[in-house]
């Protein structure tokens, strides 16, 4: 078997394909040219090198897909690449033209703003994607403002891309083909369609532009900026990413202003890493860049010193911004004396007669170098002093600003439409709400709105300008005395321009799907760039984007809070009623695959109407939904069960309205950390919340937040059954705590629950605990349940036993010890087992759970039904008795439901913004489109090959081997088989593999009722293609210990399916088994 070249490649390729396929699962496109047919590009990216691009052509999209994907795989194997980013693009629109006509078009296009691919031949053999052209600067010359072919860069790129240098056409009449693609991008976080046209062409589509999306931009950009701070405290100043060249200059003013922007972001993120970078930067600023000086009158002042011994007015100003923000956020006053000296330095640069500032001095002479350099400095100086005044209320600083504004107004500085002036006038009018200042602020923006709407470059300072002006305009609108100033001000156009510019700035974000085409992708991914300056990433570029987006994010969050308060105004949260349904264990794996095909997805849980009556539905996902991994992960069990479900099985949950799943249990880690991470991505894509596992212990212990009615609910999930799957500080896994130590539960959960109450009215903790089939909780479960309530939880939602247990009340709050199974695929369940599961409906108020309602359900073979009538009453009666034994006395109704009213302790009401309703995304739930490499083999291993292939129905068995070849003591026996099919079949055949002891053995056969779809349930025979070798690796569990004895086990294999059964055939494969581990098998 060929080892797969990268663990993510096939997953990412399939994710991208799912985005591009039509509803019927097919790829569709038209021929790009008669010579090329359908054309598909696949770009493969890793962390540290420019993307590799391959192309496929064919008579159909499927043929182009096969050719491109095979070319991609061959490339990966040839160069040993490990791609973590994949783009797939189908050529959708082609325009043929002469090379001279394209050059004319380029001459009319701003440099780096040409957003089409170009092919230099009709077969698309020498064709470049738009992002390749940008990333390798093929149409870029720094000496001109328009797009212009760069022959040297083309040759350099072509040698790597095509294996040989190529040149632009020498004849202007030569034909070229400009093209637009329809594409998709996938990485470990998910998959997105790509925008085809406009200035966002080639970037992921953003259908939901909201606070959450903007927060991601802020988080990654601030992380990027923090990462640029060296251990010394100096910044990596910037990069030209096309060729990963460092910008070889430095600007201390931008050092200080970038630190200020980082502080603005840190106010939101509170990242320890960012704080450490801020501290280093400020230390470098104070010890290396700022100089103490003595002014002519003997006053001690301070100045920021820049390259060339220049003292810039704006330098002192942005230092003030950084130090004031640091002081406000930390309460640390160490920089107050330095801030006064910096302000005195600014004062010394002002003419006291007219308020005009001098812009640049020489150091150390302090003589004037430039009386005026850039209008930025005036606005920066006034803003910095106003922020200091806001902190200290020292009237000196306000007086300097008001004197400066006399000059600004007289000189009509508003005509510059400067963002720093917008900042400072907004701050000034907070303290001096005078008409002349407001009028200046309005003039600074009012006739600039067309520019904000139409400017083709991102121009990030425009968002800063608009956000500062928005604050000022909002105050004017709220003040009846000043509101007349807004007459004639086009507020609708202003709001439209602000939203447009905020959204347009995302075109300057270094999305990973763009960064992959540059020389060192991870150097710049997550940052911001200036496109027409060769995609330059400089700290001040990132600074301006970041400052604008931080202000915009606060605005969005405030607006969403206002909407939430409006919602709350219509529903008193203390009287709010919401219903949360807890449904116990769900296993979507094993036989549930074919039972779902037999029943249809809506029928699997559609017979449980009590679920539809709830506002929020929660279950314990007792499997891992993924395609990755393999059986055999050590679990510390002699006969472990491994539960994994295909990705499309999430549709069962989505159709049933399941909103949240707990993933902390003894099966979520069955197939390893990569499968667990894949499951998280699949759940996120489907819009299903999850808690209990993650990339670290902190992540696993992070609650999921969901809205139920007009209440916010936080759900934690913790496992107490499988220590081997436990997450750690730097290890992925489950939230795990031992049942033996209730104190650990309280200590761990109490601070997290307290923190969750900053966002949630009600906190629930789902727990996977206790032994299978136990009808009542043990002493340890009871003690831990009390500890969870003591930690602050409103209810405990238990699962694990696969049978329902009673409810206990502790301090007025319910502990549901076990809900049993909501869905399971077990065969041969007796009536008692079927009856003893249930759905628990928790009726919530802001103070917690007011009522618990138990509804009995029957979890039959792969289908669940709500019980009523005599059967429902019988199940309800058993539950009633179990709860009474725990001190809880439910009342049963004639239809079989049991009810218990509660009176949880009152809690002081806490106004919280109501969360938006989460949306499940059925379209995002798709099957894996191509088999994974580990499900295939290029050849049958020598030690597995049969002397002659064995025909079993339509399948041919090519080989079989076992692990181990001899077994001592009770344990798992793994059987690996290799198969082919001669003709495609629409039938799904399951493999019935057993290890049979010879007669007259009393030991049962190993593997009874373990028939399964091939490839460990992942790739059923209806998807097989002739000519491929398919590999299955599946474990046979041993019989119970008291039935074991020494034997030579013979492997037998048959088939089972809807079309019938193919009898098992004994194979020439034997396994020596010794019942006792200390004995050698005979």
d(CA 703, CA 691): 6
pLDDT of 567 > 70? The answer is: no
Q: Which CATH class is domain 581-906?
A: alpha beta
Mean pLDDT value of segment 604-609: 93
Local confidence band at 4 (pLDDT 50, 70, 90 cut-offs): very low
Task: State the Cα–Cα distance between residues 31 and 40, nearest whole angstrom.
Answer: 10
Cβ atoms within 10 Å, residue 99: 19
pLDDT category of residue 1081 using cuts at 50, 70 and 90: very low
Phi, psi for 691 (deg, rounded to 5): -150, 150
End-to-end CA distance of the chain: 32
b/e per residue, 976-1013, with b = 16+ CB within 10 A? bbbbbbeeebeebbbbbbbbbbeeeeebebbbeebbbb
Mean pLDDT value of segment 869-874: 88
**pLDDT given for residue 564 in this prediction:** 61
List pLDDT tens digits, range 498-527: 999 999 999 999 999 999 999 999 999 999
**pLDDT over 90 at 1077, yes or no:** no
With a cut of 50, say whether residue 830 has pLDDT above it: no
Determine if the peptide bond prior to 771 is cis (ω within 30°). Answer: no
Helix (H, G, I), strand (E, B) or coil at 408: helix
pLDDT at 566: 58
Distance CA 535, CA 242 (A): 7
**Pairing label, strands 795-799, 762-768:** parallel
How many separate helices (H) and strands (E) can be counted in the chain?
A: 30, 44
Phi, then psi, of 802 in degrees rounded to 5? 70, 10
**How many residues in the chain?**
1082
Name which residue leads in pLDDT, 7 or 387: 387
Interacting residues of 694 by C-beta distance below 8 A, sequence separation 6+: 680, 700, 702, 727, 732
Angle at 662 between CA 661 and CA 666, to 5 degrees: 130
Q: Kindly report, residue by residue over 122-158, the tens digit of the pLDDT.
A: 999 999 999 999 999 999 998 999 999 999 999 999 9
* Residue 763 pLDDT level (bands cut at 50, 70, 90): very high
β-pair type (660-662, 616-621)? parallel
Question: SS3 sequence, 961-1007?
Answer: EEECCEEECCCCEEEEEEEEECCCCCCCEEEEEEEECCCCCCCCCEC
Peptide bond into 634 cis (omega under 30): no
The CATH code of domain 211-560 reads 1.50.10.10
Q: Is 1014 helix (H, G, I), strand (E, B) or coil?
A: coil
| Packing angle of the helix pair 313-330, 252-269 (nearest 10 deg) | 20
Is the model's pLDDT at 392 over the cut of 60?
Answer: yes
Q: What is the pLDDT of residues 94-119, one digit of tens each?
A: 999 999 999 999 999 999 999 999 99
For CA atoms 526, 529, 535, 540, the dihedral sign is negative
**3-class secondary-structure state, position 277:** helix
Q: What is the DSSP letter of 354?
A: T
CATH of 933-1074, one of 3.40.50.2300, 3.30.420.10, 2.60.40.3880, 3.40.190.290: 2.60.40.3880
pLDDT in tens, 694-705: 999 999 999 999
Q: Return the exposure string of 907-927: e unless at least 16 CB atoms fall within 10 Å of the residue's CB, then b.
A: eeeeebbbbeebebeeebbbe
pLDDT, mean of residues 380-396: 94
pLDDT at 113: 96
Give the domain ranges of the chain: 9-193, 211-560, 581-906, 933-1074
| pLDDT beyond 70 at 565 | no
Mean pLDDT of the residues in the chain: 93
**CB within 8 Å of 866: residues ≥ 6 apart:** 607, 608, 609, 610, 839, 855, 856, 857, 858, 872
The whole-model pTM stands at: 0.60
Cα(1008)–Cα(1006) distance, integer angstroms: 6
Residue range 541-557: average pLDDT?
95
**What is the C-alpha radius of gyration for the chain, rounded to an integer number of angstroms?**
34
Report helix, strand or coil for 178.
strand
Which residues are within 8 A (CB) of 869 and not within 5 positions of it... i.e. 6 or more apart?
896
Question: In the structure, what pLDDT confidence band is assigned to residue 1001 with cuts at 50, 70 and 90?
Answer: confident
Q: Which residues contact 831 (CB under 8 A, 6 or more apart)?
A: none
Share of the chain above pLDDT 90, in %: 85
* Fold equal for 581-906 and 933-1074: no
Place of tokens 């083709």: 456
Residue 843: how many CB atoms within 10 A of its CB? 17
């Amino acid at each position: 078997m060929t080892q797969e070249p990268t663990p993510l490649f096939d997953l990412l390729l399939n994710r991208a394909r799912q985005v591009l396929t039509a509803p019927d699962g097919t790829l569709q496109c038209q021929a790009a040219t008669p010579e090329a047919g359908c054309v598909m590009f696949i770009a493969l990216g890793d962390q540290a090198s420019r993307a590799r691009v391959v192309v496929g052509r064919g008579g159909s999209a499927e043929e182009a897909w096969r050719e491109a994907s095979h070319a991609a795989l061959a490339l990966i194997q040839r160069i040993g690449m490990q791609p973590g980013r994949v783009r797939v693009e189908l050529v959708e629109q082609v325009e043929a033209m002469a090379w001279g006509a394209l050059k004319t078009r380029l001459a009319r296009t701003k440099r780096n703003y040409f957003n089409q691919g170009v092919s230099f031949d009709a077969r698309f053999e020498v064709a470049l994607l738009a992002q390749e052209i940008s990333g390798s600067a093929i149409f870029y010359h720094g000496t001109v403002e328009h797009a212009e072919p760069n022959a040297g860069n083309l040759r350099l790129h072509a040698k790597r891309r095509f294996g040989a240098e190529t040149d632009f056409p020498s004849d202007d009449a030569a034909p070229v083909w400009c093209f637009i693609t329809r594409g998709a991008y996938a990485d470990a976080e998910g998959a997105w369609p790509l925008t085809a046209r406009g200035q966002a062409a080639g970037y992921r589509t953003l259908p939901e532009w909201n606070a959450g999306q903007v927060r991601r931009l802020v988080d990654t950009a601030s992380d990027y900026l923090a990462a640029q701070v060296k251990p010394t405290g100096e910044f990596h100043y910037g990069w030209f990413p096309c060729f990963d060249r460092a910008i070889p200059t430095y600007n201390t003013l931008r050092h200080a202003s970038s630190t200020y922007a980082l502080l603005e972001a840190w106010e939101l993120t509170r990242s320890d890493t960012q704080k450490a970078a801020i501290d280093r930067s400020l230390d470098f600023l104070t010890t290396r860049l700022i100089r103490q000086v003595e002014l002519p009158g003997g006053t001690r002042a301070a100045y920021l010193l820049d390259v060339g011994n220049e003292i810039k007015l704006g330098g002192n100003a942005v230092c003030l911004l950084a130090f004031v923000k640091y002081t406000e956020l930390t309460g640390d006053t160490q920089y107050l004396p330095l801030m006064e000296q910096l302000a005195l330095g600014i004062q010394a640069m002002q003419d006291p007669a007219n308020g005009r500032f001098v812009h640049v001095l020489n150091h150390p002479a302090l003589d004037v170098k430039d009386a005026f350099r850039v209008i930025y400095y005036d606005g920066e100086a006034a803003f910095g002093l106003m922020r200091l005044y806001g902190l200290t209320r020292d009237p000196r600083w306000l007086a300097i600003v008001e004197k400066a504004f006399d000059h600004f107004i007289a000189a009509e500085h508003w005509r510059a439409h400067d963002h720093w002036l917008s900042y400072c006038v907004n701050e000034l009018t907070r303290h001096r709400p005078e008409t002349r200042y407001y009028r200046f602020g309005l003039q600074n923006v009012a006739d600039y709105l067309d520019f904000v709407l139409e400017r083709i470059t991102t121009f990030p300072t425009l968002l800063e300008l608009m956000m500062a002006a928005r604050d000022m305009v909002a105050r004017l609108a709220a003040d009846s005395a000043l509101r007349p100033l807004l007459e004639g001000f086009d507020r609708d156009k202003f709001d439209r321009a602000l939203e447009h510019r905020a959204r347009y700035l995302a075109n300057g974000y270094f999305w990973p799907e763009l960064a992959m085409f540059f020389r060192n992708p991870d150097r710049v991914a997550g940052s911001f760039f200036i496109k027409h300056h060769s995609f330059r990433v400089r700290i001040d570029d990132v600074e301006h984007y970041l400052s604008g987006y931080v202000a915009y994010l606060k605005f969005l969050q405030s607006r969403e809070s206002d909407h939430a308060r409006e919602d709350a105004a219509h529903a008193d949260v203390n009287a709010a009623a919401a219903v949360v349904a807890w449904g116990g264990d769900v296993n979507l794996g094993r036989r549930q695959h074919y039972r779902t095909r037999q029943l249809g997805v809506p029928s699997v849980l559609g017979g449980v109407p009590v679920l539809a009556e709830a506002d929020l539905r929660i279950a314990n996902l007792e499997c891992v939904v993924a395609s990755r991994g393999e059986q055999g992960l050590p679990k510390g069990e002699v006969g472990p069960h491994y539960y994994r479900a295909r990705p499309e099985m999430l549709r069962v949950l989505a159709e049933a309205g399941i909103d949240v799943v707990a993933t902390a249990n003894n099966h979520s880690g069955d197939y390893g950390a990569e499968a667990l991470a894949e499951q998280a991505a699949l759940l996120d894509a489907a819009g299903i919340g999850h808690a209990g596992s993650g990339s670290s212990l902190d992540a696993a212990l992070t609650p999921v937040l969901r809205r139920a009615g007009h209440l916010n609910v936080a759900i934690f999930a913790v496992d107490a059954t499988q220590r081997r799957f436990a997450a750690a500080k730097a290890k992925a896994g489950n939230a795990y705590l031992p049942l033996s130590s209730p104190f650990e539960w309280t200590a761990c959960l109490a601070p997290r629950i307290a923190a969750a109450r900053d966002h949630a009215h009600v906190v629930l903790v789902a727990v996977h605990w206790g032994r299978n089939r136990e009808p009542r909780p043990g002493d340890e479960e009871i003690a831990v349940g009390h500890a969870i309530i003591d930690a602050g939880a409103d209810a405990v939602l238990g699962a694990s036993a696969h049978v329902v247990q009673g409810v206990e009340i502790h301090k007025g709050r319910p502990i549901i010890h076990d809900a049993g199974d909501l869905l399971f695929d077990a065969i041969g369940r007796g009536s008692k087992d079927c009856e003893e599961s249930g759905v628990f409906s928790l009726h919530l108020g802001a103070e917690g759970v007011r009522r618990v309602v138990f509804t009995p359900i029957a979890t039959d073979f792969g289908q669940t039904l709500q019980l009523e009538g005599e059967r429902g009453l019988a199940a309800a009666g058993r539950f009633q008795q179990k709860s009474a034994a725990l001190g809880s006395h439910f009342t049963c109704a004639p239809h079989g439901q049991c009810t218990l009213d509660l009176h949880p302790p009152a809690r002081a009401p806490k106004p919280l913004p109501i969360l938006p309703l989460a949306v499940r995304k059925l379209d995002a739930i798709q099957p894996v489109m191509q088999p994974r490499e580990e499900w295939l083999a290029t050849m049958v291993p020598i030690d597995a090959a049969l002397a002659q292939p064995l025909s079993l129905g339509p399948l041919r068995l090519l080989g079989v081997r076992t692990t181990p070849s001899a077994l001592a003591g009770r344990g798992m026996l793994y059987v690996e088989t290799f198969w082919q099919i001669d003709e495609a079949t629409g039938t799904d055949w399951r493999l019935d593999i057993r290890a049979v002891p010879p007669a007259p053995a009393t030991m049962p056969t190993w593997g009874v009722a373990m028939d399964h779809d091939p490839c460990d349930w992942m790739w059923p025979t209806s998807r097989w293609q002739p000519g491929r070798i398919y590999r299955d690796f599946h474990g046979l569990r041993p019989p119970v210990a008291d039935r074991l004895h020494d034997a030579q086990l013979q492997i037998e294999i048959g088939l089972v399916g809807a079309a019938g059964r193919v009898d098992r055939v004994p194979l020439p494969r034997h396994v020596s088994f010794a019942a006792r581990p200390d004995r050698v098998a005979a």
